[in-house]
A and B are shown apart, each in its own frame.
Chain A
Amino acid sequence: MEREQEALRGFLLYLCCGNKEEADDIAQNALMKAYLSSTGYQEKGRFRSWLFKIAHNTFLNHKASLRYTESIEEARELVSSTAADASFEHQDLYLALRTLPPKERSAITLFYLNGYNIKEIAAITEASEDAVKKQLSRGRDQLKEKLKL
């Protein structure tokens, strides 16, 4: 777990759009769930994917419990406040990510940050490969538009 926590925290930091406190809290909850379920873990060699799957579900549950609906303006206020990752120089990416729905955000982060392929992302997010492709395509277009790339 100790070896994987940094990758997991990075993934969740992106999903939480730079809110480090929230990301770390979700990471700890996900790691606790993984610890409690570790006796039933049978997927040898795919520990990180299994962990990411738990983290992704924990993140979605967290968002559902918050009934998350924020506009880019609200996001800008939040990111520029104390909770944001202070060391992050270019917050535009976080702001742009915040405009994406959580599932698209997960797909984009897993694809571009963590380097997973579509099949792996589909397994982690429990979606079909076609759905992941659509999420990636929509997310990419939206990010490029927001970031003016």
Chain B
Amino acid sequence: MNKDKALEDLFLAQKPQFDDNEAFMASLNKRLDAVEYIKQHQEATIRHYKMALVVAFVVGIISGAVTIAFLLSTPAAVPLFTFRVQTGWLSWLAANSRILTATALSLLMTFGLISIVGNIQDIRSMRSKAGCVIPSSFH
């Protein structure tokens, strides 16, 4: 496609000139400093968040293992807990105390794992928002 000579001349004759480049760059640098500060702050928050997750994970694994080991070490015929008052419902609870405790523990660990996975996804989305706004590919 050929250029229209009259239009091209008009555009080139009126090419903008800027005499405030220094002021523009100073203002831009100020904004970039602010962005860099927020980025660093966000990175630090993510690092702390990650550390807290690792600690929670390790504590969860250890406490889970200890509790399961305790459950397994007690005699199978003896209930984990008993009640002074003997009613039908409480007796059933005491008789099934091992399986009920194991189920409660499993549920707790499942919720813990779901929460950890959710937090990891949050961290990833925070990273992607902070790190890369524009796709870098250019064709």
Q: Which residues of A contact B (CB under 8 A)?
A: 1-2, 5-6, 9-10, 13-14, 24, 27-28, 31-37, 39-43, 46, 49-50, 53-54, 57, 85, 87-90, 93, 109, 111-113, 118, 123, 133, 136-137, 140, 143-144, 147, 149
Give 23 A-B contacts (CB < 8 Å), ordered by A residue: A9-B24, A24-B24, A27-B24, A28-B24, A28-B27, A28-B28, A31-B28, A32-B35, A36-B132, A37-B135, A40-B132, A41-B136, A42-B137, A43-B138, A54-B134, A87-B17, A93-B10, A93-B14, A111-B3, A123-B138, A136-B1, A143-B7, A144-B6
Inter-chain CA distance A53–B139, complex, in Å, is 11
Chain A residue contacts of B6, Cβ below 8 A = 144, 149
The one of B3, B14, B136 in contact with A90, judged by C-beta atoms closer than 8 angstroms, is B14
Inter-chain CA distance A24–B27, complex, in Å, is 10
The one of B17, B24, B28, B132 in contact with A37, judged by C-beta atoms closer than 8 angstroms, is B132
Q: A28-B27, A49-B138, A136-B1 are in contact. Are A36 and B35 (CB under 8 A)?
A: yes
Q: A5-B24, A32-B32, A136-B1 are in contact. Are A123 and B16 (CB under 8 A)?
A: no
Inter-chain CA distance A88–B13, complex, in Å, is 11
B136 to A, closest residue via Cβ? A40
Chain B residue contacts of A24, Cβ below 8 A = 24
Q: Is the CB of B16 within 8 A of A9?
A: yes
Chain B residue contacts of A36, Cβ below 8 A = 35, 39, 131-134
Given contacts A1-B28, A40-B132, 4 further A-B contacts (CB under 8 A): A13-B16, A39-B132, A43-B138, A90-B10
A2 to B, closest residue via Cβ? B25
Contact with A along B19-63 (1 / 0, CB 8 A): 001001101100110010001000000000000000000000000
Q: How far is the CB of A69 from chain B (nearest CB, A)?
A: 25
Chain B residue contacts of A35, Cβ below 8 A = 32, 35
With most chain B CB atoms within 10 A of its CB, the pick from A36, A39, A40, A93 is A36
Chain B residue contacts of A90, Cβ below 8 A = 10, 14
Q: Is the CB of B14 within 8 A of A28?
A: no
Chain B residue contacts of A2, Cβ below 8 A = 25
Q: Is the CB of B138 within 8 A of A50?
A: yes
Inter-chain CA distance A79–B55, complex, in Å, is 60
Q: Is the CB of A140 within 8 A of B7?
A: yes
Chain A residue contacts of B17, Cβ below 8 A = 87
Q: How far is the CB of B43 from chain A (nearest CB, A)?
A: 13
Inter-chain CA distance A109–B14, complex, in Å, is 12
A92 to B, closest residue via Cβ? B10
